[in-house]
Amino acid sequence: MAGGQRGAGAATPQLRRDKRLVCVEYPGVVRDEGKMLQTLGGEEGVSRVYADPSRRLELHFRPKDPYCHPVCANRFPTSSMLLKVKRTTRRKRTEAGEPEEDVQFEVEILGIVTTVYKFQGMSDFQYLAVHSGPQGKHTSMYDKVLMLKPEKEEFFMNDLPLYIPPPIFSRLDTPVDYYYRPEIRHREGYHNPPVSSENLIGLSRARRPHNAVFVTFEDEEIPSKPLDAAEQTWKRVCSNAIDHKAEEELRKLFEVRPIWSRNAVKANISIHPDKLKFLLPYLAFYMLTGPWRSLWVRFGYDPRKHPEAKIYQVLDFRIRCGMKYGYAPNDMPVKAKRSTYNYSLPITVKKPASHTAGIQDLKQGLSTSGTPSPRKPAFSKYKLKDSIYIFREGSLPPYRQMFYQLCDLNVECLQKIIHRNDGTEAACTERDGWCLPKTSDDLRDTMSLMIKQIIRSKRP
């Protein structure tokens, strides 16, 4: 710098503790703050992510493209300050004619930064809605696959090139070291084991060993008592008066009604889920297939021999959602439990901890002396609402997919469909049980029409 420069002067700034800020380390050169915010979901999107500590901040380089795969930022606590520094320079000449600069700095603390989002991962693959034709010609398909407004049936019947984007991309966005190990079959002296039902990989998850008796529709015999291991396990975990009370309540439920679903049981008795999984195999067996699949049946009761058991059959009902059913994306009657649009990287996200049974939970509110504790029992929160298993007219199901028993459809027109063949039941089939053929289809159509009328009545 030509000439001299006097010592810079600065005043001590005041710390504003009342204003807390959030920092985002943006992985790019920001020239337009508005466009930058759009890639982060706007101010509303950033605020929504900040309100949930378990979520990551997503950055979409193409915010208007629904198929854009985001880059995710992790959330970290920090203790920093945002400073505004203003430099004032005054140029003048000395008496000797040499140039001189008088520099002054003004420092202002705008706020305290307590949270920072850092983009530490790598960008994932991108999948564009483009069709590659002959001779390397690329054609955009966004106007053909995106529904910006409710469309008629012709829109869904158009002949289009196959376009199936992957539902999930890379599982991790940070590089990790993979320690390769030789397979056991390559070790010296190893021999392949004989193929049997014990070591053959099945198509479904292995059943958890809670000593339950599983019965299929084709099985001829029905168990009349539980396994010895199930009885011993329940006697071991049944350690207080509340457990004995739950056992008696469940026995009375099976006397009134021989077949129950797990949700229906949880809505009628108050018991910890970790103990219910031991109590049910002690009092009932589990049906795997047939019209009573996924239900618990009282020991010794064979619904295939009793026509009156048709009211306990299960109905797999799913709310019909989508443009072709008259629902816009924001007008879905029941929100889905999970969605691939809200997919989070499973390992690098801090998930909310699940409730595990502790000492106080296992005692179910009892003190060490076995007397009731003065505090409110923790197990009252495990009792579900009736809507989890009962369908009523004028109300929406809590989930998009529900498993109802026919006796729990509390609508007169639905009960008329169920009892159309009362007294004339000929045979019990695996698909329809004791009901007429396609009874389940008629019930689903009627229930779907009722739900559609509810949605239309609630629209402004």
Write the DSSP assignment of 349-378 as a string of letters. S-PPPPP---HHHHHTTB-TTSSBPSSPPG
Residue 223: predicted pLDDT: 94
User: Which residues share a beta bridge with 83?
Assistant: 109
Please state the pTM of the whole predicted model: 0.56
Dist CA 426 CA 327 (whole Å): 41
With both helix axes pointing from N to C terminus, report the angle between 273-283 and 241-256 in degrees, rounded to the nearest 10.
50
Residue 295: predicted pLDDT: 96
Give the DSSP H or E segment for 29: none
Residue 359: predicted pLDDT: 40
- The torsion region of residue 264 among left (phi > 0), alpha (psi -120 to 50) and beta comes to alpha
CA dihedral 405, 409, 414, 419 (to 10 degrees): 50
pLDDT in 10s for each residue of the chain, 460 residues: 444 444 455 556 677 777 889 999 999 999 999 999 999 999 999 999 999 888 889 999 999 888 888 888 999 999 988 888 999 888 888 777 788 888 888 888 888 999 999 998 888 778 888 888 888 888 888 888 777 788 788 888 888 888 888 777 777 787 777 777 777 666 777 777 666 655 555 545 555 657 899 999 999 999 999 999 999 999 998 888 888 999 999 999 999 999 999 999 999 998 988 899 999 999 999 999 999 999 999 999 999 999 999 999 999 999 887 666 666 656 667 777 666 555 545 434 554 444 444 444 444 444 334 444 444 444 456 788 899 999 999 888 998 899 999 999 999 999 999 999 999 998 999 999 999 999 999 999 999 999 888 887 776 5
Q: Where do runs of H (alpha helix) occur along 205-335? A: 228-237, 241-256, 262-268, 273-283
Residue 310: predicted pLDDT: 95
User: Which residues share a beta bridge with 185?
Assistant: none
CA 366 vs CA 139, 176, 242, 300, 384: distances in Å: 69, 47, 9, 35, 22
Structure tokens at 138: 């690329």
**Pairing between β-strand 259-260 and β-strand 296-298 as defined by DSSP bridges:** antiparallel
Q: DSSP letter at 293?
A: T
Q: DSSP letter at 152?
A: -
Cβ atoms of 310 and 434 closer than 8 Å = yes
Residue 372: predicted pLDDT: 45
Dist CA 236 CA 216 (whole Å): 29
Cβ count near 428 (within 10 Å): 21
Cβ atoms of 397 and 337 closer than 8 Å = no
380 three-state secondary structure: helix
Burial of 32 (0-12, 13-18, 19+ CB in 10 A): exposed
Start-to-end CA distance of the chain, whole Å, equals: 70
Structure tokens at 96: 């000797």
Cβ atoms of 98 and 4 closer than 8 Å = yes
Nearest residue to 121 (alpha-carbon basis) of 332, 311, 348? 348
Q: DSSP letter at 433?
A: B
Structure tokens at 436: 């007429």
Dist CA 256 CA 264 (whole Å): 13
Nearest residue to 216 (alpha-carbon basis) of 302, 278, 312? 302
- The single residue listed with the structure tokens 């007397």 is 371
Half-sphere exposure of 139 (CA within 13 A, CB side): 13
